[in-house]
Structure 1
Amino acid sequence: MFLEKFGLTLAVLSLCGLGHAETDITSDTYFYGESPAVYPSPNGTGTGDWAAAYKKATALVAQMTLEEKNNLTFGIDSTSTSCVGVIGAIERLGFPGMCLQDAGNGVRMADFVNSYPSGIHVGASWNKSLAHDRGWHMAGEFRTKGVNVALGPVVAPMGRTTTDGRNWEGVASDPYLSGALAAQTVEGMQGQGVITSVKHFIGYEQELYRNPTTNSDNQTVESVSSNIDDKTMHEAYLWPFQDALKAGAGNIMCSYNRINNSYACQNSKTLNGLLKTELGFNGFVVTDWYGQHSGVGAALAGLDMAMPTGETFWGTSFTEAIKNGSVPLSRLDDMATRIIATWYQMGQDSSTYPSLGVGMPYNISGPHKIVSALTKEAKPTLFEGAVEGHVLVKNVNNSLPLKSPKLLSVFGWDATAPSQYMPSNVLATDAWEDGYEPVLSWLSAMSETSEIINEPYDFQVAFNGTLSVGGGSGANAGPYLSAPLDALQQRAYEDNTVVMWDTGANPDLLGVMEASDACLVFINAFATEGLDRSGTYDSYSDALVAKVAKTCPNTIVIIHNAGTRMVESFAENPNVTAIVFAHLPGQDSGRAIASLLYGDDNFSGKLPYTVGKNESDYPAYWHDYAVKPFELFPQSNFTEGVLTDYKWFDAKGIAPRYEFGFGLSYTTFAFSGLKVSSVDGIAAYPSGVIEQGGQVDLWDSIVKVTATVENTGSKSGAEVAQLYVGIPGGPVRQLRGFDKVKIAAGKSAEVSFSLTRRDLSTWDVTAQKWHLQSGEYKIYVGSSSRDLPLTTTLKITTN
């Protein structure tokens, strides 16, 4: 596909001596020219509300020596704090330095902090205000701990590769949903004065070959190249980053992969061109850890800060590059100004901002900053966040909610607390973070080689306890973990229910199963940074469900899944009466699922991805591998373009098991009264000035859509009204609005959607601008991407 994408064939390459099996491509120069060169790196000017911060930063940087400016651009080793990245202080000028710290669902490598729902759980909530509140409370803890830059939220990976090991850190397999919720997260976090690092920029969609490796011939295998065309880049992968920038994001983390055969952290097209020019980014760019691969080249291409150190490529060598003219002094001045301006923009120069890493002792026995006061305020958000990310996809005969059962049976390794639940600090780390290491030896030994594809769909399970978060740098540990079995036992105490359980892999309690009012089976689907998943289902979990369901006529399956999980082996089993995708709820996991199963709270989550029936349903189920003649330069070709997830299913006429946006409730809803305004005599292209987020008139609201949602059931509940648009020449439909409303039984509520110029435009690769076309646009409103009872046509006339 790579060869076809660039207009070449194997036959032609063979004639050129490049297609023969014995021909090796040994230099990256073979690919040069694919990612356009964009130079020089534009200086930040402080557009919009950044003007005051830039004025202060320019004055401070003017007082710095060459070495002081240089030292702002790379991290240093520190034994005084467990911050994963540290920028040293410039004491004579009153700059205290910066602490950069993971993670996406709470402060990592720290105790006395909370573990919030993960990114995928936020996506499943479809709740903007909840995403904002989560960001606000989470950032309060980062601030208290003395963190300047919180390394999140994640919008890449965006789920393009179904088995990607880090999909759980991201929000959704859709750019609009990802961008909307990431923007709310940015606003919430930066409202506390904490800089958000939106990551990973860009096209980071698989773990295999994410970093350079060495093969058996001692040759370097470069990181995988995500080959993305201009239209797809703008309409899919750049989209959520643009939303985050419009929300004010102060930092962007560049990714490990290459983009069109140029490393992300030295790609002048994406950094200088897209980010700093087209989107007017005022903040600074930091590498992912050890993601720098050049010194002068990276600086000229737009990189501003290297982590965790810069000694390999920058350090004293960088000052020499400035002195000998290899890098102009103006580039270093801009790097320093962007960093200091972001520090000022968030108000971190205030005397009330905690000192660097004050609550992040290198030794866990050292002094701590406890966030107990913040925890009391955050508790409603922690619990509600955990509740709303659960998605009910099957519920026959009203099996749920449970109705004071006399005998409840619980099965599965995911029901109990893990054997270890410890903060992953520098004195107590493990390979997979926070006690979620799968116990199977093959997983710990698996390396980034093609043999992974030959593994069976087993062993992607966390057998040692319930899964509340995935593995890797995105994980953290809270003050406690509420496991499902613990919460169910508490409810049993209140209801005088008998609870029996067997959390082994092979339960043999046939009599108990037959006598139970309900059998709850807890399984999980583990994923971690550094490894892609071996599939989207596993035979151990499926066998457990089958064994219980064979005897128990009311089997309810709860899956804590760190990514898409197929359920074909039991979805239509008549004895499996209910299925819940429980995702990764954080520390309140058990309390949340118990509340939902008993109906104290109502299900309101929706799938942020599509659950297919077969591997072949997805355009990029597996990660890509290096094949001849590209063994040393792995290629991943995004040939599906913008047709990711549900847009692919729609385009190919594939029936999913559960579609994007789907989720059941204990009540029912009806839609009516669709109204859409028209657009007449509007310019086809934006003409506004560029501020952070792009041309300002891209964000003008040009269409208003309203509809009515009625709760036709007998229980109060929340519905997510979803708006999809069929743009001429584009996918069948794509999400362009959503509104989550809580409605009492028998009542109704109006939902309103504001469509911007960007929402209705396509990227014009010739004009290099967003193009609003004249024509008819299909408008759909409903409860999922395939349940859209309201339809109409929007007419747009441009001049």
Structure 2
Amino acid sequence: MRFTSSSVAAIAALTGLASAQYDGETSPPSYPSPWMRGGNGWQDAYAKAQEFVSQLTLLEKINLTTGVGWEGRPCVGNTGSIPRLNFPGLCLQDSPLGVRDTDFNSGFPAGINAAATWSTRLMKNRGNAMGMEHRGKGVDMQLGPVAGPLGRVPEGGRNWEGFSPDPVLTGVAIAETIKGIQDAGVIACAKHFIVYEQEHFRQPGATKFSYSSNLDDKTMHELYLWPFADAVRAGVGAVMCSYNQINNSYSAQNSYILNHLLKNELDFQGPVVSDWWAQLTGVASALAGLDMTMAGDQGLASGDSFWGSNLTAAVLNGTIPQWRLDDMVVRIMSAYFKVGRDTARVPINFSSWTLETDGYAYPEANEDYTQVNWHVNVQGDHAALIREIGGASTVLLKNTNNVLPLKKPKSIAIIGEDAHDNPGGPNACGDRGCDTGTLAMGWGSGTANFPYLISPVTALRAQAAKDKTSFANVSNNYDLEAIAAAATGAEVAIVFANADSGEGYITVDNNEGDRNNLTLWGNGDALISYVASLNPNTIVVLHTVGAVIVEEHKNNPNVTAILWAGLPGQESGNAITDVLYGDVNPQAKTVFTWGKSREDYGVDVLYQATEDPPQIDFTEGVFIDYRHFDAAGIEPSYEFGFGLSYTNYSYSNLQIHKENPGPYEPTTGMTKAAPTFGTIDYDPAHAEFPPGFHAVHDYVYPYLSGPVPTDLPQNWPAGSQDGSPQPHLPAGGSGGGNRQLYDIMYTVSATVTNIGHVKGTEIAQLYISLGGPTDPKVVLRGFDDLILDPGESETFTYQITRRDISNWDPVAQDWFISEYPKTVYVGASSRNLPLSATLP
């Protein structure tokens, strides 16, 4: 049976289903919504939040849970304020690569580039720099980082906002990014929870309902939930739910994923925030675990809200118990205090709706014309970090006869639109919604304005002038005569090409967010082939959002080098020049698999819906990207984890030491009863608009808009209003799951030696075979970046945790270590693993 309605009746019908185990078709109920307990490093913040919330009236509490509506105030998302306590409300702002919709901010490399460095230092530093910029603009919550989409399908439009289709690499990257953001005094919001893996049909439009991602319990735990567990363990302040349905229940009202998985099993202590207009019910979403609704209105600038006055009424008539409302607000304020917003906060000094100095304080209503932008420069010295990440994330895929690095060539030709500037400037297209000029970020809400963008041609021309190299360039991919003139006879020809994607509300070149194919854009493949037919030393640089088909270019003898530069941000040209000329020795490894054909991946975007809601069945289970290629015996062009260097490395001396952490013990016991904070005045007369109050047009208020309904439905899900003590889950009890999942079981070490002649950074990788007949051949579990001088050796060490060698048991609803032998592998990529041993 599949539920296609978001009605209360449908939710109530779910209460007839047994246990928390699910089959991938329906999402079982889980009530009540767990209340915050202040554990996992939240104790001090929880105490401050309790004190703060205990002072609040009902209307003030509602104000903190409900956004004021689209363009209601200066930020992309704004909660209501508490004037009595001089609390202006919260400012929520995109994006996961910088401060969106403002000026004098940086344009950072995308998440996929941060992952490609395989450097926890750079991941955290990037997060911290972004957090400092949001802090400097007055932002309370940065809407990022991203672990959803994970990257199930290579064509997925927003994959680049996240890190990698591997859950461990994404888990490490999201955790380090969160630490960096929150160390800056800004709340990080991990998104989009969960299995939001494509743009087509993500919201009602072409279909009446959003698509449903249908998956089983094992796949959820071993793949898609894994990085969110790392985010919670890292102390993330907030989690954003997604647009899609999960097993035919919308994320924002899916009690299983919010109450059971996130708040109970992972013991998440902060607030769940809806994606903008992802909330589709009022009471049902509150009981299912949603804590804050954004943008607050029911649709773009509608003025109506599922919460606001409706939530006020639901509390007054007893449908929403006080403990549930109090838990929402305490979670919100605990996140605020946890990152030190009470001391780090500065007034909001920008407007998302105009870059002019003056504008409307209430833009949707065109009210209160005043100064809205102070043009505060928050860039600091972040350009140096952006350049470093750009270089460290550039993957060298091919380098025939060591043609790279370049050494003062006599002549050079730079060919391709992707090397050049957008004639209208780097921000000519709103939210980067075009593919004109060099590509340095994808499109959509996950973008930021560039303060500047150094194009490759600008940086390479400067290098050529320094070296007294003859320089030619062609920007038109279709001007064959000019291309031939530039490329013929040049000592080296460098061709730049790209492939773009983004969020589904923008269509670029008929790509509705998701890519239509895995080819290069703008005639890029033909351009490379043409230049290579003219010049025997053709180097290819790719700015892409993910995998493209490169097998023809890989096998072309005249294509002597291929580099993937991803989406490197504002220092793009400087970063690629650093790598091409050897000022930076490539360390990056590819964070996705490069297939020889689209069909190699085994999964694809659902472009045409045959039913409503569209059903996307994750029948591949955990076998995506390299796990699928390995299981199916498919040879890729370049495997996951692959990347060349200007030096060479060797691996030796694998050592394994068995630790003795003791047996695994499922969590037992009961929670305390749900607490309440302060008292609520249940007199509806005291929740009405004050006499003479001026209501701003389309602004969402907590005041009652009519009589409080008293004819209450009696079919709310069983247990949803129950504040009595509840049993702990065996797999829960601590941030990220049962604390013993993180016990150290083995310490593994190996020696890595630089056997070449250039200083470099090697990414040592550790994989494990879990051994079972339904397990992937190998799964990544650890890595480190080792900086080595020529001839130098260093020890790579990784501590294998219980989680690393466990599988999920959907019957027992807990992790277990199977009877199959476990083998550890260490090496330079997922298919270059010279060291192996069976774990004792």
TM-score w.r.t. length of structure 2: 0.84
Matches within 5 A, 1:675-694: 675-678=655-658, 682-687=662-667, 690-694=733-737
| 1:468 corresponds to 2:440 | yes
Matches within 5 A, 1:415-494: 415-421=419-425, 430=429, 433-434=431-432, 436-437=433-434, 462=435, 464-494=436-466
| 1:611 corresponds to 2:594 | yes
| 1:750 corresponds to 2:795 | yes
| 1:312 corresponds to 2:305 | yes
Number of the residue aligned with 1:358: 349
Secondary structure of the corresponding residue to residue 72 of structure 1: helix
Task: Tell me the distance in 2 between the aligned counterparts of 1:81 and 1:336.
Answer: 20
- The structure-2 alpha-carbon separation of the partners of 1:200 and 1:793, relative to structure 1 and needing over 3 Å to count, comes to same
Shift of 1:737: 0.2
1:174 partner letter = D
Which one of 742, 747, 750 corresponds to residue 699 of structure 1?
742
Shift of 1:681: 8.3
Task: Tell me the distance in 2 between the aligned counterparts of 1:244 and 1:591.
Answer: 32
Which one of 314, 318, 328 corresponds to residue 321 of structure 1?
314
Number of the residue aligned with 1:15: none
Task: Tell me the distance in 1 between the aligned counterparts of 2:785 and 2:567.
Answer: 21
| 1:162 corresponds to 2:154 | yes
| 1:300 corresponds to 2:268 | no
- The structure-2 alpha-carbon separation of the partners of 1:525 and 1:158, relative to structure 1 and needing over 3 Å to count, comes to same
Matches within 5 A, 1:223-234: 223-234=210-221
Matches within 5 A, 1:121-520: 121-214=113-206, 221-310=208-297, 311-350=304-343, 352-355=344-347, 357-360=348-351, 362-366=353-357, 368=373, 372=377, 375-421=379-425, 430=429, 433-434=431-432, 436-437=433-434, 462=435, 464-506=436-478, 507-508=480-481, 509-520=483-494
Query: Is contact 1:82-1:109 (8 Å) kept?
Result: no
| 1:118 corresponds to 2:161 | no
Query: Is contact 1:113-1:370 (8 Å) kept?
Result: no
- The structure-2 alpha-carbon separation of the partners of 1:286 and 1:343, relative to structure 1 and needing over 3 Å to count, comes to same
Secondary structure of the corresponding residue to residue 160 of structure 2: helix
Which one of 657, 660, 663 corresponds to residue 637 of structure 2?
657
Shift of 1:40: 0.7
Secondary structure of the corresponding residue to residue 100 of structure 1: strand
Question: Could you give the per-residue CA deviations for residues 616-671 of structure 1, whole angstroms, max 9, x where no partner exists?
Answer: 111213336422xxx22110011111111101111111111100000001110000
Secondary structure of the corresponding residue to residue 481 of structure 1: coil
Shift of 1:684: 4.6
Shift of 1:91: 2.2
**Structure 2: tracts of 5 or more residues without a match:** 18-25, 298-303, 358-371, 505-512, 669-731
Of all paired residues, the percent bearing the same amino acid is 44
Shift of 1:269: 0.2
Which one of 566, 571, 574 corresponds to residue 557 of structure 2?
574
Secondary structure of the corresponding residue to residue 781 of structure 1: strand
Secondary structure of the corresponding residue to residue 728 of structure 1: coil
2:309 partner letter = T
Task: Tell me the distance in 2 between the aligned counterparts of 1:162 and 1:602.
Answer: 28
Question: Could you give the per-residue CA deviations for residues 80-107 of structure 1, whole angstroms, max 9, x where no partner exists?
Answer: 8531000122121242311000011110
Number of the residue aligned with 2:618: 638
Shift of 1:398: 1.2
Task: Tell me the distance in 2 between the aligned counterparts of 1:268 and 1:383.
Answer: 43
Number of the residue aligned with 2:751: 708
Task: Tell me the distance in 1 between the aligned counterparts of 2:770 and 2:829.
Answer: 18
Question: Could you give the per-residue CA deviations for residues 50-89 of structure 1, whole angstroms, max 9, x where no partner exists?
Answer: 1121122122212211111111111114868531000122
Runs of 4+ with deviation above 6 angstroms: 24-28
Which one of 538, 546, 552 corresponds to residue 555 of structure 1?
538
- The structure-2 alpha-carbon separation of the partners of 1:196 and 1:25, relative to structure 1 and needing over 3 Å to count, comes to closer
Task: Tell me the distance in 2 between the aligned counterparts of 1:127 and 1:785.
Answer: 17
Query: Is contact 1:75-1:87 (8 Å) kept?
Result: yes
Task: Tell me the distance in 1 between the aligned counterparts of 2:569 and 2:374.
Answer: 21
Shift of 1:322: 1.3
Number of the residue aligned with 1:621: 604
Secondary structure of the corresponding residue to residue 132 of structure 2: helix
Query: Is contact 1:40-1:300 (8 Å) kept?
Result: yes
Shift of 1:717: 0.7
- The structure-2 alpha-carbon separation of the partners of 1:384 and 1:749, relative to structure 1 and needing over 3 Å to count, comes to same
Task: Tell me the distance in 2 between the aligned counterparts of 1:564 and 1:538.
Answer: 10
Which one of 573, 576, 588 corresponds to residue 593 of structure 1?
576
- The structure-2 alpha-carbon separation of the partners of 1:81 and 1:113, relative to structure 1 and needing over 3 Å to count, comes to farther
Task: Tell me the distance in 2 between the aligned counterparts of 1:150 and 1:27.
Answer: 29
Query: Is contact 2:101-2:352 (8 Å) kept?
Result: no
Task: Tell me the distance in 1 between the aligned counterparts of 2:345 and 2:170.
Answer: 30
Shift of 1:701: 1.8
1:88 partner letter = G
Shift of 1:566: 1.4
How large is the Cα RMSD of the aligned pairs? 2.1
Residues 276-285 or 758-767, more deviating = 758-767
Shift of 1:371: 6.0
Number of the residue aligned with 2:677: none
Which one of 493, 504, 519 corresponds to residue 537 of structure 1?
519
1:771 partner letter = F
Q: How many residues align?
A: 731
Query: Is contact 2:33-2:259 (8 Å) kept?
Result: yes
**Structure 1: tracts of 5 or more residues without a match:** 7-23, 215-219, 425-429, 438-461
Query: Is contact 1:419-1:465 (8 Å) kept?
Result: yes
Secondary structure of the corresponding residue to residue 55 of structure 2: coil
Task: Tell me the distance in 1 between the aligned counterparts of 2:43 and 2:625.
Answer: 40
Shift of 1:125: 1.0
Residues 341-350 or 239-248, more deviating = 341-350
Task: Tell me the distance in 2 between the aligned counterparts of 1:37 and 1:510.
Answer: 65
Question: Could you give the per-residue CA deviations for residues 279-310 of structure 1, whole angstroms, max 9, x where no partner exists?
Answer: 11110000111101100110000000110114
Number of the residue aligned with 2:364: none
Residues 712-721 or 94-103, more deviating = 94-103
